[in-house]
């Protein structure tokens, strides 16, 4: 790859991906809202272009070049908080994903790499299990799944290579969303009780810098029309991750398991297998969980 486009470039993962790409000497056209560019790395290889998911086709007027290699689509409206349960918004995200793919084709991109979620797998299990009543959290997962299916079919129709990375659980410096690692570390800092479910469900966590490398390597070496689990390669019960957090960052704090009911889906370990991406691209995570949470804790303490 020599020249790429990244949507959602100001976001938690997007800014990490832009940094990763430019460190390899790759030119990046970084797309995000006009008022959202403060996290995008600045340099001679980065060009910022204001971008709105609701008007994707405007890019054809804003960008003159037609010699891009790859289009990385990370932008997603309502990826955290109550908007994850907004049915209308999540369906629009799926349509906007297809719009981005069509635009990528018009801009000369040979490849389209989409950012999916392990929630897609959880959603399939949740809605397929008889008598199970999926919660509103699965609306987000369903939106990602629809975007995945529709963009892949559209890619085959218009003639652009489609790759899809299903992120297990990304964490790291720069994240401010109310997701598990971020919330737990902030509870430790503020001295709040550390209460959890029984935490027997299988999980995987991967540092955002490793996720960014994984996407870059998918763009370079992933096989067309394949999906890849992006994880640490060390999936295990959530309780083991929590115990490691306690041992590493809060050895004097008591951990309370079982105080919160769990109503989600426990994915089999083989569903979280990230071996295919290692085989096809050579990717493997470099940042251990203990190192990653230390770095993340230091960032939260420093930045607030």
pLDDT confidence bin for 107, thresholds 50/70/90: very high
| Better-predicted residue by pLDDT, 153 or 81 | 153
Q: How far apart are CA 150 and CA 90, in angstroms?
A: 13
Residue 304 has pLDDT above 80, yes or no: no
Token pair in block for residue 303: 């930045």
Judged by DSSP in three states, 29 sits in strand
**Taking the model in full, what pTM does it have?**
0.96
Quote the pLDDT of residue 178.
86
pLDDT confidence bin for 262, thresholds 50/70/90: confident
pLDDT confidence bin for 259, thresholds 50/70/90: confident
Look at strands 236-237 and 170-171 and give their pairing.
unpaired
Percent of the chain with pLDDT over 90: 92
Q: How far apart are CA 49 and CA 118, in angstroms?
A: 30
For the chain, how big is the Rg over CA atoms in Å? 19
Could you tell me which of 154, 121, 108, 118 has the C-alpha nearest to residue 5? 108
Residue 119 has pLDDT above 90, yes or no: yes
Residue 264 has pLDDT above 90, yes or no: no
Average pLDDT over residues 170-193: 94
Cβ-Cβ contacts under 8 Å for 209 (sequence gap 6 or more)? 16, 20, 172, 286, 287
pLDDT confidence bin for 75, thresholds 50/70/90: very high
**Opening angle at CA 54, ends 78 and 49, nearest 5:** 95
Q: How far apart are CA 264 and CA 91, in angstroms?
A: 22
**What are the residue ranges spanned by the domains of the chain?**
3-175+205-233+270-286
Quote the pLDDT of residue 137.
85
Burial grade of 89 (CB within 10 A; 0-12, 13-18, 19 or more) = middle
pLDDT confidence bin for 177, thresholds 50/70/90: confident
Q: How far apart are CA 19 and CA 22, in angstroms?
A: 5
CB 70 within 8 A of CB 109: yes
From residue 12, alpha-carbon distances to 40, 101, 183, 209, 257 in Å are: 10, 22, 15, 10, 30
Q: What is the CATH number of domain 3-175+205-233+270-286?
A: 3.40.50.720
Q: Which helix or strand (DSSP H or E) is residue 88 part of?
A: helix 87-106
Q: Which residue, chain included where needed, has tokens 């966590």?
A: 205
């Amino acid at each position: 790859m020599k020249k790429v486009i990244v949507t959602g470039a100001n976001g938690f993962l997007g800014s990490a991906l832009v940094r990763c790409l430019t460190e390899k000497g790759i030119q990046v056209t970084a797309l995000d809202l006009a008022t959202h560019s403060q996290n995008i790395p600045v340099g001679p290889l980065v060009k910022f272009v204001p971008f709105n998911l609701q008007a994707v086709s405007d890019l054809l007027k804003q960008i003159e070049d037609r010699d891009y290699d790859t289009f990385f689509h990370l932008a997603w409206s309502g990826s955290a908080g109550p908007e994850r349960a907004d049915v209308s918004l999540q369906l629009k995200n799926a349509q906007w994903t297809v719009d981005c793919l069509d635009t990528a084709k018009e801009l000369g991109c040979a490849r389209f790499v989409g950012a999916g979620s392990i929630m897609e797998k959880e959603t399939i299990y949740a809605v397929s299990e008889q008598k199970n009543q999926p919660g509103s959290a699965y609306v987000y997962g369903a939106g990602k799944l629809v975007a995945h299916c529709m963009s892949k079919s559209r890619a085959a129709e218009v003639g652009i290579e489609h790759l899809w990375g299903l992120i297990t659980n990304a964490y790291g410096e720069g994240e401010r969303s109310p997701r598990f690692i971020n919330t737990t570390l902030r509870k430790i800092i503020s001295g709040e009780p550390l209460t959890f479910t029984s935490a027997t469900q299988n999980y995987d966590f991967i540092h955002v810098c490793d996720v960014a490398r994984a996407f870059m390597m998918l763009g370079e070496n992933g096989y067309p029309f394949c999906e890849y689990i992006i994880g640490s390669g060390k999936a295990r019960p959530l309780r083991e991750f929590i115990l490691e957090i306690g041992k590493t960052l809060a050895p004097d704090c008591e951990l309370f398991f079982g105080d919160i009911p769990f109503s989600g889906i426990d994915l089999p370990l083989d569903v979280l297998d990230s071996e295919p991406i290692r085989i096809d691209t050579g990717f493997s995570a470099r940042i251990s969980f203990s190192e990653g949470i230390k770095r993340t804790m230091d960032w939260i303490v420093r930045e607030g």
